[in-house]
Chain A
Amino acid sequence: MPDLSLADVLAGLLALSLNAYVLFGGADFGGGVWDLLAGGPRKARQREVIAHAIGPIWEANHVWLILAIVLSFTCFPPVFARLGTVLHIPLTLMLVGIVLRGSAFTFRTYDDEHDAAQRRWGRIFASASLVTPVLLGVCIGAVASGRVTVPAGGSFGDQFVDPWLTPFAFSVGLLTLALFAFLAAVFLTLESHDPELVEDFRRRALWSGGAVFVTAWAVLLLSLEHAPLLHRGLLASSWAMPLHLATAVTAIAVFAALWYRRYAVARIGVGLQASLIVWGWAVAQYPFLVPPDLTVQSAAAPEVTLRLVLLALAAGAMVLVPSMFYLFRVFKSAPADRSGL
């Protein structure tokens, strides 16, 4: 085990905040996807459960993304500058998606008069939920492929489009979407007491779990040609086998739990599986933050900044963890099929 530097610790926290965003924010996006795909005789009630599950929590979930942004520009400033420059277009589109999604959901929730306007908000909310995760995945895929380099002249397309407009980046985008939908479907099985609704979400969980499996394979195959660094990390390194084994075991466990309707187990399993995917990516490209040139060490801010940020994070966690715990205790103690509004 090599000695971990302060910069490594903060890079780890960066990955952790992305992990949290995938788990909590991702489930929110997935909820939007299932809102879009709501169907069958219980269409309206499915949407009600989704809205209620997202309701009180969603504003808080965005903070994980903001934390990742803040950590990157404080602790690894060249990384933030590089991503903002080269991935300007997909990041901007992702932002538009985030804005539309968040505001549309709020407007739909608070506008309690059931009319055409409300259905329109619902559609905006749901379509933005579909597009935004793909764009997030495209950005991650572009980074992993090692094409996010210093703009070295050439045409506009060479510098600002080619790095991310690749089959590999889009395969990561689809994997992200499938994963978010899978997370949400599994979480939603625990949000209702109505056995028919639970069954609806269980079926959706099984299907989207299949989609995760397929897209993950696509990513792995495409990485062979398009993301050699990632591919080497995922296959050749010493920890690769144990990681894949653990991911495979959790995946099978989640499917089994869904099959036998052990939803509490499935929820823990799916969270673990998503986290393993995020960490698999992070560890595979270590020590690079943005391959092929920005590493954890080379991009790190001065030591004093890193130390202070770590201190601030610890202090913040002491405020936030009990607050979060309180919020979840107040609202998640009893599931309700009726919206609290």
Chain B
Amino acid sequence: MSDLLAARSQMALSLAFHIIFAVVGIGMPLLMVVAERRWQRTGDPVFLDLAKRWAKGTAILFAVGAVSGTVLSFELGLLWPRFMQFAGPVIGMPFSLEGFAFFTEAIFIGVYLYGWDRIPRQAHLWAGILVAVSGAASGVFVVIANAWMNAPTGFDLVDGAIANVDPIRGMLNPMAFQQTLHMTLASYAATGFAVAGIHAFLLLFDRRNAFHRGALRVALLVGAPAAVLQPLSGDISARAVAEWQPAKLAAMEAHFETGRRVPLVIGGLPDMDKRETRHAIRIPGGLSFLAFHDVNAEVKGLNEFPRRDWPHVPIVHIAFQVMVALGTYLALLGLWTGWLGIRRRELTDVRGYLPAVVLAAPMGFIAIEAGWTVTEVGRQPWVVYGVLRTADAVTPMPGLIVPFLLFTLLYCFLGVIVAWLLYRQIIRSPRPGEWTRTYSPRPLSRA
């Protein structure tokens, strides 16, 4: 394994790990606030219990997200010192702002978690809302920095160094809106359906369990609308990619030959040497329509670009197909959920519905990992698109396989532990003792 590949693998692993916790840190606070609000309005103790458990879950995952995020901010320098030296002045701003959003989130998680008996009810709800808002804001800031790597603006290049820096224009880069919208919706959809899926699974064995039914409803309230809106946001993103990163779009779509009325390639295996894609379904004019909303539009193929500027086409194409397929499933499931909701059907009684939600549990997260693979691998061989190559940004330190293996071990260890802890703390039905304590404030033993 070359040092460059080791560094890329370590970064990919760290991001793939961190993103799960970052997404949960954006999605869970919303679930917890919705549950608390329901409790305040209905007085149903199930929702109070849910708010408390989800707050605990948020805190555990936030803590892991905080440490894995700290690791990432160091890794930027440990693995890509030349990238940071180059990009820091332009794109450091959103990272500073992210720091503040993160800090605000941490403070109000503390207030929310430990403040149940110490502050007024409304203040407590507002603390939760601040957690949700600052969580979303910190995600937005980080994604803005990534969007800049895809569409770098706000500087001039003079003899290989940056000049005339304009950090505000860097932040308001042409991909910023599209990517942040797509990622924020993804966070709500993935978290909502993951939680809904887990509780739907437990409802399969215990259909009348009030705890899991409440959890399912709140989780769907967050997940379903986001999943339904996501294809629209995907369309906005795809058109921006078509304009700013035509090589990435061509790789996503496994599209080699420039032309008009380009078909949409579904499935198939791209062959980079023969420059063709086999075993695919083709929809005439589909890609032209999706990329430019015109079936006769010209779409640039990979052949327009020198081979050394291509990303790895099969990885990008397959990851993209996976993301779209899973996103479509979630959007359709979201529509079904909405339809059942409008007709006021009891979700647990609709045949086939619970298994469909169980199936959806991991999909949002897989779609997110696949989507980030598209973004990151699709940008290669550039770290800053068209400006700085990844190979020129890596640290000169040799032996990078060692830290890569070290962090792989560390992340495996953490992953197993987190899953086990979440099961013990959050997902399992309340035990009999807990149930009495939570649901009847006065002891019943006097009877």
Contacting pair A309 B104 (CB below 8 A): no
Query: Which residues of A52-84 are within 8 A (CB) of B?
Result: 55-57, 59-60, 62-63, 65-67, 69-71, 73-75, 77-78, 80-84
Complex CA distance for A151 and B67, rounded to whole angstroms = 29
Which residue of A is nearest B130, CB measured?
A323
Looking at chain B's contact residues, the main secondary structure is helix
Interface-facing stretch out of B107-115, B174-182, B212-220, B315-323: B107-115
Size of the chain B interface, CB-CB below 8 angstroms:
64
Q: Which residue of B lies closest to A94 (CB)?
A: B74
Q: Are A330 and B107 in contact (CB under 8 A)?
A: no
- The residues of A that contact B395 with a CB separation of less than 8 Å are 84-85, 88
Q: How far is the CA of A239 from the CA of B168 in the complex (A)?
A: 40
User: Please, which residue of chain A has its CB at the minimum distance from the CB of B397?
Assistant: A88
Residue of A nearest to B171 (CB): A308
| Cα-based distance from A75 to B96 in the complex (angstroms) | 11
Q: Report if B4 contacts A (CB, 8 A).
A: no
Q: Given the known inter-chain contacts A71-B96, A309-B96, please indicate yes or no for A77 contacting B88, CB distance below 8 A.
A: yes
**Nearest A residue (CB) for B165:** A302
* A103 lies within 8 A of chain B by Cβ: yes
Contact assessment for A99 and B71 in the assembled complex, using a CB-CB cutoff below 8 Å: yes
Decide yes or no: A73 and B88 within 8 Å by CB, A106-B60, A156-B399, A327-B110 being known contacts: yes
Q: Which residues of A contact B89 (CB under 8 A)?
A: 74-75, 77, 301-302, 305
Question: Does A91 interact with chain B (Cβ within 8 Å)?
Answer: yes
Q: Are B107 and A327 in contact (CB under 8 A)?
A: yes
**B71 — which chain A residues lie within 8 A by C-beta?**
95, 98-99
Interface centre among B69, B100, B425 (most CB of A within 10 A): B100
The answer to whether B113 and A56 touch across the interface, beta carbons within 8 angstroms, is yes
Q: Which of A304-331 contact B (CB under 8 A)?
A: 304-305, 308-309, 312-313, 315-316, 319-320, 323-324, 326-327, 330-331
Chain A 273-314 interface residues, beta-carbon cutoff 8 Å to B? 301-302, 304-305, 308-309, 312-313
Give every chain B residue within 8 A of A88 (Cβ-Cβ). 78, 395, 397, 403
What distance in Å separates the Cβ of B57 from its nearest Cβ neighbour in chain A?
Answer: 9
Is B88 a contact partner of A74 (Cβ separation < 8 A)?
A: yes
User: Is the pair A74, B96 in contact by a Cβ cutoff of 8 Å?
Assistant: yes
Query: A102 within 8 Å of B by Cβ?
Result: yes
Which of A63, A151, A326 interacts with B102 by CB under 8 Å? Answer: A63
Interface centre among B85, B104, B421 (most CB of A within 10 A): B85
- Give the residues from 88 to 126 in chain A that come closer than 8 angstroms, CB to CB, to chain B: 88, 91-92, 95-96, 98-100, 102-103, 106-107, 110-111, 113
Do B78 and A110 touch (CB < 8 A)? no
Contact of B106 with A by CB under 8 A? yes
Task: Give Cα distance in the complex from A141 to B355, angstroms.
Answer: 59
B417, A320: Cβ atoms closer than 8 Å:
no
- Smallest beta-carbon distance B69→chain A, Å: 8
Given A78-B85, A81-B85, CB of A305 within 8 Å of CB of B110 = no
| Residue numbers in B under 8 Å from A69 (CB-CB) | 73-74, 77
Closest beta carbon of chain A to B126's beta carbon, Å: 11
Cβ contact within 8 Å between A110 and B85: no
How many A residues touch B, CB cutoff 8 Å? 62
Residues of B within 8 A of A305 (CB): 89-90, 92-93, 165, 167
CB-based contact A60/B73 at 8 Å? no
For B188, list chain A residues within 8 Å (CB): none
**Interface flag for B398 (CB, 8 Å):** yes
| CB-defined contacts of B119 to chain A, threshold 8 Å | 330
Chain A: CB-nearest residue to B63: A106
User: Is the Cβ of A70 less than 8 Å from the Cβ of B85?
Assistant: no
Knowing A69-B73, A83-B77, say if A331 contacts B114 (CB, 8 Å): yes
Whether a CB of chain B sits under 8 angstroms from the CB of A340 is yes
Shortest A333–chain B CB gap in Å is: 9
Given known contacts A70-B99, A73-B76, A77-B84, is B425 in contact with A111 (CB within 8 Å)? Answer: yes
Provide the bound-state CA to CA distance between A95 and B73, in Å: 10
Q: Quick check: is A160 within 8 A (CB to CB) of the other chain?
A: yes
Tell whether A102 pairs with B77 under 8 Å between CB atoms, given A74-B89, A151-B396: no
A57, B99: Cβ atoms closer than 8 Å? no
With A103-B63, A107-B421, A309-B92 as contacts: A59 and B99 at CB distance below 8 Å: no
Cross-chain contact A65 with B70 (CB below 8 angstroms)? yes
Rounded to whole Å, the gap between the CB of B330 and the closest CB of chain A is 30
B107–A60 touching, CB < 8 Å: yes
* B residues in contact with A81, CB < 8 Å: 77, 81-82, 84-85
Looking at the assembled complex, report how far the CB atom of B426 sits from the nearest CB atom of chain A, in whole angstroms: 10
Within 8 A of A (CB), among B116-165: 118-119, 165
Q: Does B166 contact A (CB under 8 A)?
A: yes
- Cα of A240 to Cα of B24 in the assembled complex, Å: 50
Q: List chain B residues, Cβ under 8 A from A55.
A: 114
Alpha-carbon distance A65/B102, docked complex (angstroms): 13
Find chain B residues with CB under 8 A from A60 CB.
103, 106-107, 110
Q: How far is the CA of A116 from the CA of B81 in the complex (A)?
A: 42
Extra contacts, 6 of them, besides A62-B70, A70-B96, A99-B414 (Cβ < 8 A), are: A100-B410, A151-B397, A304-B165, A305-B90, A305-B93, A305-B167
Identify the A interface with B (CB < 8 A).
55-57, 59-60, 62-63, 65-67, 69-71, 73-75, 77-78, 80-85, 88, 91-92, 95-96, 98-100, 102-103, 106-107, 110-111, 113, 151, 156, 159-160, 301-302, 304-305, 308-309, 312-313, 315-316, 319-320, 323-324, 326-327, 330-331, 340
Nearest 6 Cβ contacts at the A-B interface: A74-B92, A84-B77, A81-B81, A316-B100, A301-B89, A77-B88
Can you list 6 residue pairs at the A/B interface with Cβ under 8 Å?
A: A60-B110, A62-B70, A75-B89, A95-B71, A330-B111, A340-B114
